Amino acid sequence: MRSVAPPSIAQQLAAKQREISVAEFFERNRQILGFDNPQRSLLTTVKEAVDNSLDSCEEARILPEVTVQIAKEGEDRLRVTIDDNGPGILRREIPNVFARLLYGSRFHSNRQARGQQGIGISAAVLYANLTTARPAKIVSKIEEEEAAHVLELFLDTQKNQPRIVSEDVLLWDRPHGTKVELVLRARYVRGRQSPYEYLRGTAIVNPHARILLIEPDGTRVTFERATTDLPPIAKETLPHPYGLELGELGYFLKSTKRPTLGEFLAKDLQGVSARAAREVLAQCALPANRPPSSVHSEEQERLLTALHGAALIAPSGDCLSPIGSMLIKRGLRNVLGDVRPEFYAPPVSRPPKVRAGFPFMVEVGIVYGGALPPDQPVQILRFANRVPLLFQQGACAITNAISNLDWRRYGLDQRGGSGLPSGPALILVHVASTKIPFTSEAKEAVAEDPEIDREVTLALQVAARHLRTHLSRRTRRDLAGAKFEIILKILPKLAEKTSHLTGKPVPDLTPVITRIMDVVNLEAAVSRDASGVHVAVEAVNYTPRARVLELFAEIPPEAMAGATFDPAPDGTDPALGRAWWTLSKLPPNGRTKLALTFPPKTDLDAADLDWYVAGVDEAHLLGADPLPGDWDVRLPRTIVEAAEAAAAEGAPADGAEEEVDYDAAESSAGASDDE
Amino acid sequence: MPRNRAPAPATTSDEEETAVRADALRPTLELAEQIWNQLDAGEIPRMRLPLRTKQNLEFRMREGVWKLGRQMGTRSARKLDGALMLLRTFYLVDFINEMAKSKKTSTLRELYYISEAWQEAKFHSEDESNLLIEDLEVLCQRLREDFRLHPEENGASVLGDLTIKERNRKGIVKTINCRDDVGDGGYALPFNVEKGKIEFVKTSAKFVIAIECGGMVDRLAENGFDEQYDAILIHLKGQPARSTRRFLRRVTEELKLPVVVFTDGDPWSFRIYASVAYGAIKTAHLSSYLATPSAEFLGVTASDIENYDLPSDHLSEQDVRALQAELTDPRFGTAEWRSEIELMLKNGKKAEQQSLAKYGLNYVTEHYLPEKLAEMGVL
């Protein structure tokens, strides 16, 4: 009798080994993939589809028109439809693009794009299949074909393969585009981390896109495009050795068509000159004429070490797609219109830098005031490769960079000089890179990195300095506001009362008014009508002496071309957007007006114009700055003399400042006999 | 520039009224003229006023009271607050001149409401209007009564053998004995206690005892303290009103009676005593008219709390701050007061007058007061 040996451990284990179905994979990684609850699942679905739409439009150089419609389909079900005017998808690709995980065109490309891994939209399809047992419906038309293809798809969870349940063709009223329709278990909310917030953020950093959101209750929210200029296409570039890992190097060596190692290094990699290639090969003792495919793994390791240690040309930023400071401003202004912020700091676009072989760049915008809540932490809008980051704010390197800056220096409240500042401000930070280090596969937060931190901090500081300048100007304006209140409201009444009590005539207040104000005030107001955009400027000489004012305007050059001026300027420099006037002599309390007219629909507001006055120092100017030295304008003799005389005179001998302010002393001394 | 001389007391006797009132308002018009001249000369309008702060209190040896010192402040239209106060001043001057023409008077509270019509110059609190009236008193060296402004609250009540004559609203002179002709509440002081309104007739009292709380006044009255010790009891009602302080001043000056002040044993009561005896900070311009430099502090002292083992409370944070503020108050600059304040800070305890009831209802009149008064040489 033969005894039957019990199965060995290896056999037992082998019996348990089997392929993990994608359904299981999905189930276990729901959180990473962004489908852990009904609210978030909806957001992830919208996000993946919209990212795809924008990426495809950008590649095809099409101005995107994206519509997201969310409709109720049952107790806890929503029908989500996203359609775009993108280039469309070839019939044979449709099943794989939408119903197969890890299938995509961008995984191996070395340039900035929104999506990369090829999980996104198929995961949404799988989620819809699993939660409602309904297929995804895809409609797509390419320009070359007459009709659109309509496919209904399931993702086969055993094989990770698409399963087509129906197919049809459709005459579609558009030349090209794609529509995805999914029914899924989901919940619609508005507010934080909602599709609304996501689309709003997307609209800010994609001002060339027009996005329409139709909410379940029928509300239509349109994020109108703010520009018809497409962002420059990010170039696909060769991989740079600094960012290369061993496995990738091996892959490139195997798949290259270059006959020799020397040629491979110089032509298939970025930043390696012929000379640098020779040096690298000498360093790792490999002959230049070796066929690349023959380099074995130990040699590959030596080669990589040599490459990492070599002095190479830094990776180029051409493959990045920054938004650009002008478009950040437009995007913010477009979307924040109803908040009516009082100040947009000129957005900062830092030059590209490199970390671990990958180029990256940082952009920052700050908005202040208006209807933004004054006593809460500032709003932070984080973006990675033009995609809004809505989750994990606290774990993000961007948030940390903001928290580590001492914002008190720049005029925001911040307890103890660190942590999130508070105040009516919104801070936008965009990090663009061919490889952004995320804290996790869910791509919700940028991981800590000293290079990125440094760039974000530098960009924040530049924008924050503009904020500080604005706030200190505002303080001066407020102070001036108090003075205006005195001269316009209180003094006339005081004169009237004392005249009444003494029975004397009301005195001329001009000398007192000019002594209190002692500034030249400039005010520019913008109004629009069918005939154009009108800028009305008024200069008032609230100083005790008559002045000839030399007034300079700095106007965006593109707006200056169509502008007319009344009176005509004494000189202009259209290329630099400059115009200047010598105004007739203004007596104390005297005023004069200027009118600028621009063609209708000129994109211009009061903040786009800068005003300078020559011969008056900063302390005696309101609404304008002293003429900077670099304008290099030859000033009329009278102005120069007036300025010299004012400088020689020094501070006004008034002496009033040394006295104790009676009302301030009263209140600060405090102690009375009562409690 | 105003000098800190005591203003002439207002009077209400009929024959003098018209002349006095006209003279009373002349300085207000001079003030208007001063500002008009500044405006006309192109100067930024401003006024200089002595600072009414504790740092600007000076002791006047001759009078024995604390008065305003020489530190001046400026109220200037250069700043919004100053400009508003100047404008308010002339709304006020205009108002009191109009009142004089129509022979009306106004309470301080009514004035506060009158200012509703002054637009940006209106008062935001009654404190603000009271302070401005005091400013005008200082600037014009007049009393608010001269401006026909008076508080609605009357002064304290008086209980004891003191006979006075009061000319009432209808002009009838009543003779009142403050013990025999009044009810349990005593004789209530009107807001005007000047000669012409009130005259002293006679008294058998040997001293005056000014008491912070009503409960203690009642206790002394019920125990017959005033009759037994020939005392006049005056209820201060907390921080005493101007009329109460003026009345105390007149009683000591004209009847030559000593005054003792009997309060709770806490920092706020020290201030009550200081404003009675030395003059209050906000009305230091009126000290020679309102303060009673001979008034002495009877208690409850910090040492009383220990010596009589009185039930006490811990000093609160505000109490401690108040005591510390008193250490920098020149009125408490004597060695006695310093040691008293420092002792209270050290012990960290305060006590109410009525805590003496710990030893029974008669203890205060049979033991505490006789002992303290004997110590002070009053009895």
Q: Of B222, B336, B321, give the one whose Cα is nearest residue B273.
A: B336
Do residue A217 and residue A251 come from a single domain? no
Q: What is the DSSP letter of A490?
A: I
Quick check: is B1 in a domain? no
Cα gap A122→A589, rounded to integer Å: 72
Q: Of A582, A592, A591, give the one whose Cα is nearest residue A615.
A: A582
Quick check: is A234 in a domain? no
CB contact under 8 A, A494 and B272: no
Residue in B with minimal Cα distance to A486? B80
Quick check: is B236 in a domain? yes
Quick check: is A12 in a domain? no
Do residue B163 and residue B146 come from a single domain? no
Domain limits at B127?
A: 14-150
Region A277-304: mean pLDDT is 88
Do residue B137 and residue B176 come from a single domain? no
Would you call the peptide bond into A567 cis, given omega within 30 degrees of 0 as the criterion?
yes
Per-residue pLDDT, A416: 84
Q: Does B78 touch chain A (CB under 8 A)?
A: yes
Do residue A455 and residue A378 come from a single domain? yes
Do residue A140 and residue A54 come from a single domain? yes
Give the model's confidence band at B16: pLDDT under 50 very low, under 70 low, under 90 confident, else very high: very low
What token pair was written down for B164? 């006075």
Quick check: is B114 in a domain? yes
Q: Is the pLDDT of residue A649 over 70?
A: no
Quick check: is A492 in a domain? no
Q: Does B124 touch chain A (CB under 8 A)?
A: no
Per-residue pLDDT, B246: 93
Residues 222-251 of B with CB under 8 A from A: 239
Residues paired with residue A597 on neighbouring β-strands, in sequence order = A534, A564
Host H or E run for residue B233: strand B231-235
| Domain end call among A439, A471, A503 | A471
Do residue A305 and residue A416 come from a single domain? no
Q: Is the pLDDT of residue B344 over 80?
A: yes
Quick check: is B229 in a domain? yes
Cα gap B211→B221, rounded to integer Å: 12
Q: Which of A107-121, A308-322, A490-504, A505-519 shows the lowest per-residue confidence on average (mean pLDDT)?
A: A107-121
Average pLDDT score over chain B: 89
Do residue A305 and residue A344 come from a single domain? no
Return the residue in B90, B115, B290, B328 with the most chain A beta carbons within 10 A, the one to mutate for interface testing.
Answer: B90
Per-residue pLDDT, B18: 45
- Closest Cβ–Cβ partner in B35, B54, B74 for A494: B35
Residue pairs spanning A and B at CB distance below 8 A: 150
| Residue position matching structure tokens 């390197």 | A397
CB contact under 8 A, A656 and B42: no
Where helices occur in B313-376 by DSSP H, the ranges are 317-327, 335-347, 363, 369-376
Q: Is the pLDDT of residue B361 over 90?
A: yes
| Domain end call among B115, B150, B185 | B150
Cα gap A113→B135, rounded to integer Å: 73
Task: Write the CATH number for B282.
Answer: 3.40.1360.10
Give the model's confidence band at B17: pLDDT under 50 very low, under 70 low, under 90 confident, else very high: very low
Do residue B163 and residue B144 come from a single domain? no
Region B221-241: mean pLDDT is 94
Kindly list the catalytic residues of B.
113
Do residue B88 and residue B43 come from a single domain? yes
| Domain end call among A271, A288, A309 | A309
| Domain end call among B131, B150, B169 | B150
Q: Which of B17 and A489 is assigned the larger pLDDT?
A: A489
Quick check: is B4 in a domain? no
What token pair was written down for B285? 């311009």
Number of domains in chain B: 2
Quick check: is B301 in a domain? yes
Residue in A with minimal Cα distance to B89? A494
Q: Is the pLDDT of residue A119 over 70?
A: no
Cα gap B37→A166, rounded to integer Å: 97
Interface list for chain A against chain B, based on CB atoms closer than 8 Å: 482-483, 485-486, 489-491, 493-495, 497-502, 504, 507, 509-512, 515-516, 656, 659-666, 669, 671-675
Q: Is the pLDDT of residue B6 over 50?
A: no
First to last CA, chain B: 47
The nearest CA of chain A is from the CA of B254 a distance in Å of 27
Cα gap B377→B379, rounded to integer Å: 5
Per-residue pLDDT, A671: 45
Tell me the percentage of chain A whose pLDDT exceeds 70.
89
Number of domains in chain A: 4
How confident is the model over A55-97, as pLDDT tens digits? Answer: 899 889 999 999 999 999 988 899 999 999 999 999 998 988 8
Q: Which of A105-114, A340-349, A621-630 shows the lowest per-residue confidence on average (mean pLDDT)?
A: A105-114
Per-residue pLDDT, B27: 93
Q: Does B329 touch chain A (CB under 8 A)?
A: yes
- Closest Cβ–Cβ partner in B74, B131, B281 for A660: B74
Do residue A73 and residue A217 come from a single domain? yes
Quick check: is B6 in a domain? no
Quick check: is A315 in a domain? no
How confident is the model over A450-468, as pLDDT tens digits? Answer: 999 999 999 999 999 989 8
Per-residue pLDDT, B2: 41
3-state DSSP assignment of residue A161: strand
How confident is the model over B148-191, as pLDDT tens digits? Answer: 898 876 678 999 999 999 998 888 999 999 999 999 889 999 88
Cα gap A632→A285, rounded to integer Å: 61
Task: Write the CATH number for B42.
Answer: 1.10.10.10
How confident is the model over B48-98, as pLDDT tens digits? Answer: 999 988 888 888 888 888 888 888 999 999 989 999 999 999 999 999 999
Task: Write the CATH number for A352.
Answer: 3.30.230.10
Do residue B233 and residue B129 come from a single domain? no
Do residue B46 and residue B107 come from a single domain? yes
| Domain end call among A445, A471, A497 | A471
ipTM of this predicted structure: 0.80
Per-residue pLDDT, A453: 94
Domain limits at A607?
A: 517-647
Quick check: is A479 in a domain? no
CB contact under 8 A, A666 and B35: no
Region A644-653: mean pLDDT is 57
Average pLDDT score over chain A: 85
